[in-house]
Amino acid sequence: MAALYSVLALRLAFRIPNLVQDDARQHIFWMRRYLDPALFPNDLIANYFQAIGPAGYKAFYWIFAKFGVDPILLGKLLPAIVLGPACAYLCFRVFMELLPDPRGAFFSSALLCQVIWLKDDVISATPRAFPYPLFLLFLLFLLRRRLLLCLIAFALEGLFFPPAMVVSIGIIFLCLIRKDDAGFHFSRERIDYLFCASALVVAASILFNYARSIAAFGPAFTAGEARVLPEFGPTGRLPFFVSGYHFWLDWPWSGFFPLYFETLYVAAALFPLLWLIGKFSERERAGDALLFLMRIVIVSFVCWSVAHALLFKLYLPNRYSWWVLYIVEPIAAGMTITLLFGMLARFRSVRWLPYAAALFLLIYPHWRTTIPQDTYVTGHSQGLYSFLQKQPKNCVIATLSQEADMIPTFAQRSVLAGAETASPFHQGYYRQIRERGQDLVHAEYSSSLEDVRAFIRKYHVDLWIIDRRDFQPGYLSRTFWFKDIADTAAIEESLKRGEQPALMKLVPVCNVYTSPRNVVLDAHRIEYVDPSLIE
């Protein structure tokens, strides 16, 4: 099953040229510095995403880059060749530790394969791809009481995806509460408390170093500061704040429950119900498994709640719940299948029911959507990328075009600002990017040549890319992010009146590259153009 989905994922990733996973345009593009240190010099965007990358994640890509492996290529291969199969194998082993039934373990593993390929976490090969195998590895060693190996897996979580380590340390402390015939009590084994203390030291060290690496771009926005920014509104760059129950239940970034897989929810929820009413031989073992999974969900809920209370200091709240439930739900659904096998084994006429239920769970998602989910985006301007690659590596490019999101990946050149990389979390970074975006919009639509020249001097712009739709009325108000930070109404009104921005008049005399989509202007020519030519 894992190999099948991996093959489909590889076919998806390499079906046409100039494909890149959506989030790789933020978290992987800058890693080409590992191949060529001269790329992206003094680039605020590259510096920021390099700083917020967890240490283990960066070291992993750095090692492969030293052997000449392109990080973008590695990002396409890694999910299918390593992460997906590892998740399937580890899920099987964790299930067998909880309840030794190979049938349930198989269906759990297969359902997890569907979950990870339906979502864009693992396929992104970004930090949020790694908690799935690392958390399963942590759980496996914890269940086996291999505490040193468990501590290593715990440290790896922090080095690749710190929220996973936060959830895991909660599980470690909650596991101090034991259950036996006498009821619940705290562990009486000294090794358990030494293990907790060691985990605290490891977590504090990793989190301290991570906080220090991003300190230059902090602090994080508070909830009050974010609420007044349109970027966080329902139609903004990060539509975090919405009204209604969806905000708490299933809204991306803030909700506790993940989207998709309604049948998986039902199958997982049946596990505690069947355990309560069913009669089967492994009742005590199933009860221990249920208690273990409930502990994971409780810790996840507490972390999610704290993340809401400290918004956005612990990043996004759903980073503490969605991926956890995507792991727990397939395991719980597999438990349901196992209990059905046990409960119906005595009834020959309905022995087929567990198989039918399991097959339905596996087939149903394919009726609803395509698995793997296509989260790749395409660079459509190969001619532009080739032209830009011939320019000096230290050139700075300004553009309102969507190509701002593609140029760093496909042309390996710096852009002044772009919607995809305008992450509104850390004030030290975002306020600079927001100012750049506002200045860019003002300069592009200004009727004053001096405004254009002042912008070029301020940001040392070398090339200015004009999308051929830029000066059409209504286009700016449809752009991603730029519409959130600019006075689009005034600009649209000016264009409707027929007023021509100065930059539009410079196209015939300053262009150095043209294509059906874009025109590239030499910013240095703009500095010396005769004003009378555009009057």
Q: Which domains does the chain have, with CATH numbers?
A: 2-368 (no CATH), 379-534 (3.40.50)
Task: State the pTM of this model.
Answer: 0.95
The CB-based long-range contact list for 23-26 (8 Å cut-off, 24+ gap) reads 23/120, 23/124, 23/126, 23/375, 24/72, 24/75, 24/124, 24/125, 24/126, 24/409, 25/377, 25/405, 25/406, 25/408, 25/409, 25/420, 25/421, 26/126, 26/420, 26/421, 26/423
Task: Please tell me the predicted confidence (pLDDT) of residue 434.
Answer: 96
Contact 54, 162 (CB under 8 A): yes
Alpha-helical (H) ranges within 278-321 are 283-309
**Structure confidence at residue 260 as a pLDDT band (50, 70, 90):** low
Task: Please tell me the predicted confidence (pLDDT) of residue 515.
Answer: 94
Contact 101, 340 (CB under 8 A): no
Asked whether residue 341 carries a pLDDT value surpassing 90, the answer given is no
Q: Give me the percent of the chain exceeding a pLDDT of 90.
A: 81
Mean pLDDT across 377-386: 96
Contact 325, 204 (CB under 8 A): no
Count of Cβ atoms closer than 10 Å to residue 238 Cβ: 20
What confidence tens digit (pLDDT) does each residue in 274-321 have? 898 877 777 889 999 999 999 999 999 999 999 999 999 999 999 999
The pairing of strands 414-415 and 396-399 is: parallel
Q: How many Å is the Cα radius of gyration of the chain?
A: 26
Contact 286, 221 (CB under 8 A): no
Mean pLDDT across 342-363: 81
Contact 25, 409 (CB under 8 A): yes
Task: Please tell me the predicted confidence (pLDDT) of residue 18.
Answer: 94
Asked whether residue 535 carries a pLDDT value surpassing 70, the answer given is no
User: How far is Cα 256 from Cα 254, in angstroms, rounded to an integer?
Assistant: 7
Task: Please tell me the predicted confidence (pLDDT) of residue 256.
Answer: 95
Asked whether residue 216 carries a pLDDT value surpassing 80, the answer given is yes
What confidence tens digit (pLDDT) does each residue in 66-122 have? 999 999 999 999 999 999 999 999 999 999 999 999 999 999 999 999 999 999 999
Phi (first) and psi of residue 457, to 5 degrees? -70, -40
Asked whether residue 458 carries a pLDDT value surpassing 90, the answer given is yes
Q: Give me the percent of the chain exceeding a pLDDT of 70.
A: 99
Task: Please tell me the predicted confidence (pLDDT) of residue 357.
Answer: 85
Alpha-helical (H) ranges within 41-130 are 44-52, 55-66, 71-78, 84-98, 102-118
